[in-house]
Chains A and B, each alone.
Chain A
Amino acid sequence: MAEEKPEEAPESETAPEATEAAPESGAAPEATEGEPTLGEVVEPRVPLTPEEERALREKFEASTRYVNKKVGSIFFGLLGPKMIKKMARSKIVTPELYDKEGYPVDGGLMDVRLGVIDPGLRCKTCGSKLKECIGHFGYIEIARPVIHINFVKIIHTMLQCSCKECGRVLIEDQNIQKTREQLEQIETDEGVEARRDAVKNFVSSTKKMNKCPHCNAKQEKITLEKPTTFMADAERRITPIEIRSRLEKIPDDDCWVFGVNPESARPEWMVLTVLAIPPVTVRPSITLESGERSEDDLTHKLGDIVRINQRLFENINAGAPEIIVEDLWDLLQYHVTTFFDNEVAQLPPARHRSGQPLKTISERIKSKEGRIRHNLAGKRTNFCARTVISPDTMLAINEVGVPNSVAMKLSVPEIINEWNREYLKKFVENGPTKYPGANYLVRPDGKKKKITEETKEAILEELQPGYVVERHLIDGDISVFNRQPSLHRMSMMCHRVRVLPGRTLRLNPAVCAPYNADFDGDEMNLHIPQTEESRAEAEILLDVQTQLISPGYGGSAIGCIHDGISGNFVLTKFLELERQPAIDLLCAVGIFDVSKLPNKKLITGKEIFSTLLPDDFTFHGKSKNGEEVVVEKGQLIKGVIDQKTVGGEGAGEMIRALQKDYGSQQTIDIIHSIFKLGIEVLLYTGISAPVSDIDLPRAANKKIQELLVQAEEEVAQIIQDFDAGQLEAHPGRTVKETVELRILEILNKARNSCGDTIRDHFTEGLNSTSIISSGARGNILNIVQMAACVGQQALRGKRIDKGYKGRTLSCFKHGDLKPEARGFVRNSFRKGLNPKEFFFHAITGRDSLMDTALRTPKSGYLYRRLANAMQDLKVEHDKTVRDANGRIIQFIYGEDGIDVSRSEKGVINVDRITRQA
């Protein structure tokens, strides 16, 4: 197979003649032969009789109707002049588009034989209507050959590596055969990529030859003057005519060493003598409101080519001086070049009169907005919705709240049968404006009818089994919910629809973690599967509960967050309620069976929490502060509930254990009630982060000040030692680095001891302490920064040393190493920062902002490349990981053969299993 040459080449399936036609056109130079002609009409236009038209049309349709083949392979080749003429339905001879009546000119660029773009007309070639006719190619004879810009490079190497006299490759006969065999071998061994590299190596070694081993002719040095001019020995210009004749001389057998298959791509076809004119359907003109026609960019460009080509013909025939002919020839080359690629580096792009560059063939295909990435790889879908999201804890974890207005636009098709006829009738009766109604009726023949107030009555009459009603969304419908970037499989999960008032999509905050969503304006997408198969697939594979255990870390991706955690912490740690408030709490959560509560006056929080657990549940774990958490027979006996037991993102060990013992469905129900219980508890007790949390007792304040002063003294001592040259360097460090390290260490230690002091003075209760120690939000450092000392501001892991020469701000002395001169913020946020501190704080604040803004796209791209590189790796039945070629990547998956999504955080918990057995 030849190297890939993307061009408007038809793949073999649609044009079976491609391969047959190619060899016979072989080396014969057909287009350059004879006198250039102009104005010759290829076939006189005979008006078709209706019978002829019908016959033509039937013949065409028959040829297209029953294409029932599988595409086995695709190959890319070049279009030779013969092939172009064979494909063409019309020879283009005039740049005029329309005559005085506005009818397309015969032999013009909008020739009616090239396809239809106007509604109501029939194609003069195939007889089919607009949208049915795919269009037909035309061609023009080019007066003098021009080079195809996309092949300049390979033309160059071919000229360099072949003899100018005999056309043979500049290596001995036996080597040609050998090289060819080597290439074949490399391709079977290492693939096409390696073969291309081998061709490159071959070329670079061959082009140095300056004498032909076949005919002993001396070779010229051929250089390329970009974009399309070739020079011999840097003094003589080689015309495209000469280039073409040299390429023609290269024998078929020699082409292979260039990686070119002469059957599908004869080298001389890279120099154009005939240009294929794309069908009008490729470049449709649009009619403006004023009735004026506006032509496509390609049509404009083709018009230029035809015009210049005509002038060139005329000048040649009139025997004009060679200078004029050459000028026109260059101009023609320019137009043909920009027709293919209008972004050639050395050429000014062809422009509209408005000055905006024309969009020609290359620009249509490449880049993000091009055909490939925009139209082919970019998928769009119907039956979807996108809006802002907001939280709703009362929704089940696998539900999604859908706004009324959305529910009336999206629909689910339901086929009428005898049993649901009356049920579906009600939807049709409601029509499209009353919820729950229906928008469309689909007849068995596929005709779609919109249901409106007017057509409603008639449609109701028509309803019968086999018809399909597209009814509004109702509660319980299957949907697929997604948030970008869709980085893992939990980014798309199946939720049940819950139609709600309001204008946002609602979701349970427990699933924020897998979607990585928050409610600061995030938007999400909702898709409604339209077939039974897709609905079944969504339910079985994408349901939230099936995604509970993350294959990334073997823990629950879903769990309680924020109030769900701190609420249960407060409940299980502090609370003791009377019977009535305890029952109220459970009822609010949706638990009405209170028989599990012990029959006594005061009920502890642990007992209330236990009612949510299955009766035979046993669990041993640790809480965040390292204490044991014990659940025996569904009773929380010991320990408090916190982030490590019920949290999400792999933290919740109890959730992992629940899933293992009771399955996903029951687990998400339990997560939901635990979450709700936490929130209800906090509604009952109240919780806040008051300013008093950062009020410190006088003793604590004093202690902190002492700690800071002490640290500063220590630092001063180190600086003094350093200045005196007495400081000993750490191994492998310079003295300067050592000072920095020691200072940083002391200052960090100081702040940490501030933290310890604050911790000692914590008043436990319904305040920040509970929020922090439950792991719901925040950490001790936040409190330290507010109450005691903001601490060292670090820039790239070091103290701040930028700014002025040798100092950070102009108010410091040169080389000042004191903490406050290098970004140490001694004050707390509460006390307030002084101007210098404020400035340092702003520096690191801005830096981290920049950092996140710049890092996100970079890591996103890195991830994308990783995902693309590994997308077809697969674990086989013998536990090996193999790629698409069956090559082994790992002998045992993950080197331990464990399916993480069935493990507990990546390990098989043998202890638990034996305990159960």
Chain B
Amino acid sequence: MDPTKHALVPKHTKVSEKEKQDLLDTYGITLRELPRILIKDPGLGKLDVKEGDVVKVIRSSPTAGETVFFRRVVAA
């Protein structure tokens, strides 16, 4: 079974180096301040990520319909 295909698992995509920098700049933060995701998280599926990468999560929200979230990948 592939959990990333499940209806309840939101879509995870890797953020490019440039987008990542833009993200950090818009919020005036360093990687430290971003929420985290474990590298072995099943939601990441076969995504080619390493520690320090940022993933974009698009998920449904009861208040906003759809919402975008960013997480930095951390090692176990």
Contacts and interface: CB of A to CB of B under 8 A. Distances in A.
Contact of A888 (B33, B63, B67, B68): B33
B61 A878 contact: no
Contact of B34 (A888, A892, A895): A888
B35 A887 contact: yes
Given A886-B33, A888-B35, A894 B63 contact: yes
Contacts of A896: 61, 63-64, 67
A882 B26 CA distance: 15
Nearest to A896: B64
A424 B68 CA distance: 63
A886 B32 CA distance: 9
Contact of A889 (B35, B64, B68): B35
B27 A906 contact: no
A251 to B, nearest CB: 34
Given A894-B63, A896-B64, A906-B63, A878 B32 contact: no
A891 interface: yes
A895 B35 contact: no
Interface in B50-64: 61, 63-64
B47 interface: no
B10 to A, nearest CB: 12
A888 B29 contact: yes
Nearest to B66: A895
Interface in A872-895: 878, 880, 882, 885-889, 891-892, 894-895
Nearest to A888: B33
B65 to A, nearest CB: 8
Interface in A849-887: 878, 880, 882, 885-887
Contacts of B26: 878
Interface residues of B, number: 15
Nearest to A890: B69
A882 B64 contact: no
A480 to B, nearest CB: 33
Contacts, number: 37
Contact of A880 (B27, B61, B67): B27
A895 B67 contact: yes
Nearest to A893: B63
Interface residues of A, number: 15
A898 interface: yes
B56 to A, nearest CB: 11
A419 B29 CA distance: 57
Given A878-B27, A886-B29, A892 B35 contact: no
Given A878-B27, A906-B63, A887 B32 contact: yes
B33 A887 contact: yes
A887 B31 CA distance: 9
Report, nearest first, the 9 A-B pairs whose CB atoms are least far apart: A896-B64, A895-B67, A895-B64, A895-B61, A896-B63, A887-B33, A895-B63, A894-B63, A888-B33
Given A882-B33, A885-B33, 5 more contacts: A886-B33, A887-B33, A891-B68, A891-B70, A895-B61
A895 B63 CA distance: 7
28 contacts: A878-B26, A880-B27, A882-B33, A885-B33, A886-B29, A886-B33, A887-B32, A887-B34, A887-B35, A888-B33, A888-B35, A889-B35, A891-B27, A891-B68, A891-B69, A891-B70, A892-B64, A892-B67, A894-B64, A895-B61, A895-B64, A895-B67, A896-B61, A896-B63, A896-B64, A896-B67, A898-B63, A906-B63
Contacts of A882: 33
A483 to B, nearest CB: 30
Contacts of A885: 33
Interface string B1-37: 0000000000000000000000000111100111100
Nearest to A885: B33
A878 B68 CA distance: 15
A898 B61 CA distance: 13
Contacts of A888: 27, 29, 33-35
A158 B27 CA distance: 46
B58 to A, nearest CB: 12
A53 B51 CA distance: 69
A898 B65 CA distance: 13
Between A878, A880, A886, A891, the greatest number of chain B beta carbons within 10 A of the residue's beta carbon is seen for A891
A889 B64 CA distance: 16
A880 B29 CA distance: 12
A894 B62 CA distance: 10
Contacts of B27: 878, 880, 888, 891
Contacts of B34: 887-888
Contacts of B61: 895-896
Nearest to A906: B63
Contacts of B29: 886, 888
A182 B74 CA distance: 18
Contacts of A891: 27, 67-70
B55 to A, nearest CB: 13
A610 to B, nearest CB: 36
A164 B61 CA distance: 62
Contacts of A878: 26-28
Nearest to A894: B63
Interface string A809-851: 0000000000000000000000000000000000000000000
A894 B63 CA distance: 7
A896 B63 CA distance: 6
Nearest to B61: A895
Contacts of B33: 882, 885-888
A896 B68 CA distance: 11
A888 B69 CA distance: 10
A896 B65 CA distance: 9
A402 B64 CA distance: 46
Contacts of B28: 878
B54 to A, nearest CB: 12
Contacts of A887: 32-35
Nearest to A878: B27
A224 B33 CA distance: 44
Interface in A773-795: none
A777 to B, nearest CB: 31
A906 B35 CA distance: 26
Contacts of B68: 891
Contacts of B69: 891
Nearest to B32: A887
A880 B68 CA distance: 13
A882 to B, nearest CB: 7
B50 to A, nearest CB: 18
B57 to A, nearest CB: 10
B29 to A, nearest CB: 7
Interface string A156-192: 0000000000000000000000000000000000000
Nearest to B34: A888
Between A885, A888, A906, the greatest number of chain B beta carbons within 10 A of the residue's beta carbon is seen for A888
Nearest to A897: B64
A581 B61 CA distance: 54
Nearest to B28: A878
Nearest to B70: A891
Contacts of A892: 64, 67
A898 B29 CA distance: 23
Contacts of A880: 27
B48 to A, nearest CB: 24
Nearest to B30: A886
A887 B74 CA distance: 15
A749 B9 CA distance: 38
A113 to B, nearest CB: 54
A898 B67 CA distance: 14
A896 B62 CA distance: 9
A892 B61 CA distance: 12
Contacts of A894: 63-64
B49 to A, nearest CB: 19
Nearest to A886: B33
Nearest to A889: B35
